[in-house]
Structure 1
């Protein structure tokens, strides 16, 4: 019997067989929490085989705490009032990945079931894609990420109090062939890791800023694309730390440099024919009626769903004019100053780029918001505003295009959105809005250096 490869796994039986073939005593099983942080454990082979058939249990506190393991005090799904019981999960056989740094080790993703499925990030996206299927569409996506590399370790950044950090390379050298050639071995390692773990990189280059890189991940069906994005973020951090470096995907780590985006390229095809639902050779910019409605839905719901694409307090420091991040719910054709960029092309390349998202967003929730709002536009036959030509930052826009300016405001817009509740369910909206309110409250408990410098002596 031939030796199975991770990418060939499609069923429970395949998953059993590849573990047996490799003689593994344990495998890795991981899932993603509400912030997009990967959690998991090594699971003994016999337990893994049983879990493939019947699922397994995991303490639901992972859906009830923040990115610093602090317990939410304002959510209903779980908490001290429930006693933090176990929640059921199922293993996703087709998510099997190699873990190159660990020999023959394999990694499988899992997702929550039962009551927890309503707020499981992967489950939220999966339900949106089921909605698309019910409308006769298949969604495809690709994620682009910017991230900064530092010549630091988890210990050194804390010893420095996160100040005076040393970027991996100095100066502003976007698209630098010099940098990528001098550090070619490091680039090759990242490219090889991405191939081995099935989140292949289509493009890798330096961006504007010291030590900043941009990666474009290959297109795939939307759920697989979100898996690729989530795994890329996790294992890029692993790769960097194993080499004495650190990678950050926070939206903006310094006021002196542009923020870090998480752009999403999206297209729809007709499920039966496989043909593009966005391409119309006879239409202006080859933009079909369906694509126009899709963009209209994205534009109209952007202010209501912003918390899903800009989920941290830090996200909103990026959304300022002149730093390559959109500040209003605008769209244009091949316009990188707008929030939505329609990219005309062929039947295989016609798409829309959702440029609003930041690198700190949970890939599953960002993708769900970007696709779900587009489907909403098709369902309601919405029409977009006039496209923006020229610099969107220099133009005034209608009030309905204004985006929330803080995480708290974004959480309130999400909580009050009928469309969000229709798309994602009441349980998710209530839970996620509450977690964002918690995040903002945590921030308000702290005194910033700016406040001390501004008020300590003079006021």
Structure 2
């Protein structure tokens, strides 16, 4: 029997590695007993989805755990349609279409179906160097930077999903915020969605109807940053599978229509390596001086990192039209109209970064928050007055791309390799949109007749 439950709260990278050793022993025993027949290796790609390779379990434990397994490098040089991107920053992934090496992180083990387990992997070059552009590598490096200062984050991620019919219309026509009876038409689907999430054993905290038609939210419990991001993606995959069995689309667009928003809200607190909270100040709802520096760093870099929070054309429909999407950069205590909300009190005090859409890559989102926040701590950056507007997110994707590529703050937060790669992926997104004729363009053209 494999105990794959994730601990709640902060956990250092060293503690994760220790947990992986324990999981390895349990997996070997389960494979030997015939309880596990196959293992699916998963690698988060730049588009917030997994690339997957399914392996025989005995081969996995005998060979792959020690040596890794090949993954075509173009996974980090493709667009959402899996076509190669034409940009210098991704050329290294497309030359010869050689293999990278998947290195399983057994702290991520979870069941997929009877006899089949899944594991999230890091990615290396054949010579053992981490792939800097890989979202999981970017997050690990930012965590290592934070731990050098004695900071260990705990992260909770909220993803909003919209359930639609194949033609794109929501399953329920009215808003579902905190609804009870209005959820009745979706109850059969939601029952299977909850069963799928529960089977993963990721530790769901809450669930409810959300603001817009057909929209729902399941919140996982807070945990170490790598687990939070991996589990958010595993959770999305489980929801999509359950919905597909009902002939329903589970949508993670930033905006299903103008005036709506689907978000990736990130709750983040800080502890020391022993788990003692570092977030709260002298009074229950007041941030500590250290956490104030962290929050100040996040606000300072947020505009330059818009392309991380908003990585698609659709992202800007949310930022420009959705009523609760953050455009002005300010913070507030328990204020859901602020870009960063301070929530909880005492040991539970945390920031809720409300920048990112549901289409954002979660590892990169959290890496960007950590990189920007740690810079604020290092510089002892003063926290702006509550409610004071200190800037705004980019209003257009072109502005976001320019800010990202020219920003010293973004490069300090994420590193040159990650910024250049993100700019290449985002640039392809913009070019593809400009090369496409949409229904809106046809309608607009007909109106001129």
Q: Is TM-score (shorter-chain normalized) higher than 0.5?
A: yes
- Which of 68, 83, 90 does residue 70 from structure 1 map onto? 83
Question: Partners of 2:25 and 2:177 in 1: how far apart?
Answer: 47
Question: Contact (CA 8 Å) 1:195, 1:201: kept in 2 or not?
Answer: yes
- Which of 7, 10, 24 does residue 20 from structure 2 map onto? 10
- Which of 166, 172, 175 does residue 172 from structure 1 map onto? 175
Q: Deviations over 1:12-48 (max 9, x none)?
A: 3333222223344422111110111111121123431
Structure 2 match to 1:96: 109
Q: Deviations over 1:372-405 (max 9, x none)?
A: 211111111112322218xxxxxxx45xx12212
SS of match in other structure, 1:43: strand
How many pairs are equivalent?
431
Structure 1 match to 2:264: 262
- 1:116 is displaced (CA, Å) by 5.4
- 1:70 is displaced (CA, Å) by 1.4
Question: Partners of 1:225 and 1:340 in 2: how far apart?
Answer: 19
Q: Deviations over 1:194-243 (max 9, x none)?
A: 23213322111111222111222211111111111111112211111022
Question: Partners of 2:203 and 2:187 in 1: how far apart?
Answer: 17
SS of match in other structure, 1:10: helix
Structure 1 match to 2:422: 432
SS of match in other structure, 2:175: coil
SS of match in other structure, 1:132: helix
Question: Partners of 1:223 and 1:247 in 2: how far apart?
Answer: 24
Change (3 A) 1:452 1:181: closer
The answer to which of 317-326 and 230-239 deviates more is 317-326
After TM superposition, the structure 1 = structure 2 runs for residues 271-310 of structure 1, keeping only pairs within 5 Å, are: 271-272=273-274, 274-282=275-283, 285-310=285-310
Structure 1 match to 2:241: 238
Change (3 A) 1:292 1:206: same
Question: Partners of 1:4 and 1:25 in 2: how far apart?
Answer: 14
- 1:282 is displaced (CA, Å) by 4.1
Question: Contact (CA 8 Å) 2:330, 2:386: kept in 1 or not?
Answer: yes
Question: Partners of 1:203 and 1:81 in 2: how far apart?
Answer: 42
Question: Contact (CA 8 Å) 1:287, 1:344: kept in 2 or not?
Answer: no
C-alpha root-mean-square deviation of aligned residues, in Å? 2.1
- 1:456 is displaced (CA, Å) by 4.5
Change (3 A) 1:60 1:35: same
Structure 2 regions of 5+ residues with no counterpart?
7-18
Structure 1 regions of 5+ residues with no counterpart?
158-164, 390-396
- Which of 109, 114, 119 does residue 108 from structure 1 map onto? 119
Change (3 A) 1:447 1:291: same
Question: Partners of 2:178 and 2:34 in 1: how far apart?
Answer: 41
Structure 2 match to 1:122: 136
After TM superposition, the structure 1 = structure 2 runs for residues 16-415 of structure 1, keeping only pairs within 5 Å, are: 16-49=28-61, 50-78=63-91, 82-99=95-112, 102-114=113-125, 115=129, 117-152=131-166, 157=167, 165-180=168-183, 183-255=186-258, 257-272=259-274, 274-282=275-283, 285-320=285-320, 323-347=323-347, 349-388=348-387, 397=389, 401-415=391-405
Question: Partners of 1:225 and 1:173 in 2: how far apart?
Answer: 26
- 1:317 is displaced (CA, Å) by 0.6
Change (3 A) 1:62 1:190: same
SS of match in other structure, 1:286: coil
- 1:322 is displaced (CA, Å) by 5.8
- 1:359 is displaced (CA, Å) by 0.6
SS of match in other structure, 1:118: coil
Q: Deviations over 1:278-329 (max 9, x none)?
A: 112348x321101111110010000111111111111011012661101122
Question: Contact (CA 8 Å) 2:74, 2:94: kept in 1 or not?
Answer: no
- 1:177 is displaced (CA, Å) by 1.0
TM-score (norm: length of structure 2):
0.90
